[in-house]
Amino acid sequence: MRRQNVLVTGCNARLARHVAVALAQRGHWVFAALPDCFGVNVNAARNLQNVGVMKGYRLHVLEMDVVDEAAVERAVGSIVDRAGHIDAVIHASNLGALGLAESFTAEQVREVFEVNVFGVQRVNRAVLPLMRERRSGLLLHISSVLGRFAMPNLAIFDASMFAVEALAEAYRYELSAVGVDSVIVEPGTFAAELERNSLIPEDRERISEYGDNADLGERVSVYEGLGDVPTSPELHDVVHAVVELVEMPPGTRPLRTVVDPEGGESIGELNALSEDISQRFLQTMGQEDLLRLRR
């Protein structure tokens, strides 16, 4: 197995931290990025650094807020200075939004998209010149099954995940000619940690006008009964899927990997149908060469 230099974003969240540690345990040189390392996320940063030291892993913690383009550029530059190149990026930063769609202000929607969508684009733009030059690299986007169907009370988060799905799939086709892979992992709702990291609507007056559904955000929870995220078997499955994709040979990785014990089969069917339609459309347009990775 080839050891790789991997950047993992959003390591202030449990899923990203588990991914970073698992990759480091496999011998990869992992750069675990998170915002505000010396402030609100100091404990998460310190714990990750301690794991690396105690276990002897090549696990380096660095500050990077995906909403700050200059911070992204600095972090990527520091990785290149230290390791020489970046083989893979794991996009694991996300911000939830739990509540009725109309009750979120435009500024709140923008905040969600700044992290979940624009943050992905900032990081990709920072690393892709390096990857294209080497004709090698992997962009792995941790999305959600909520990026494939819409749920009430989760519309704003859903919309951002739909955008990530489209962006990542388009990148797959566009980057195929330069040897860079783009893939998507779709966890079930358990792994999104949305109740722990979510905006709530600011426009309470709009909420009150929904009558019996005014408290939908409080009454309906897609996470109820799913247990503690850090110890859930599903979380382990997501981490395993990410590690497996990182270590797969280029050109063999599927576009989408679903990790959802509840609705995974249905989402898998949807993905297969979508991929078949996309492939046939590209073939009709004479662009079937975009369907395979070339190095």
Return the domain boundaries, the chain.
Answer: 5-291
* The CATH homologous superfamily of the domain defined by 5-291: NAD(P)-binding Rossmann-like Domain (3.40.50.720)
* Tokens 């931290």 -> residue: 17
Q: Residue 288 and residue 282: Cα distance in Å, rounded?
A: 5
What pTM did the predictor assign?
0.91
3-class secondary structure, 147: helix
Q: Are 282 and 288 in contact (CB under 8 A)?
A: yes
Which of the two residues, 262 and 166, has the higher pLDDT score?
Answer: 166
pLDDT at 262 over 80: no
- CB contact burial 157-181 (16+ within 10 A = b; e otherwise): bbbbbbbbbebbbebbbebbebbbb
Order the strands of the 88-91 sheet from edge to edge. 59-63, 29-34, 5-8, 88-91, 137-142, 180-187, 256-259
Percent of the chain with pLDDT over 70: 89
pLDDT at 39 over 70: yes
3-class secondary structure, 120: helix
Q: Residue 45 and residue 112: Cα distance in Å, rounded?
A: 23
Among 55-69, 155-169, 191-205, the range scoring the smallest mean pLDDT is: 191-205
Average pLDDT of 6-34?
96
* Residues 8, 263, 241: CA angle, nearest 5 degrees: 30
pLDDT at 230 over 50: no
* Band (288; pLDDT cuts 50, 70, 90): confident
- Give residue 203's pLDDT: 85
Percent of the chain with pLDDT over 90: 72
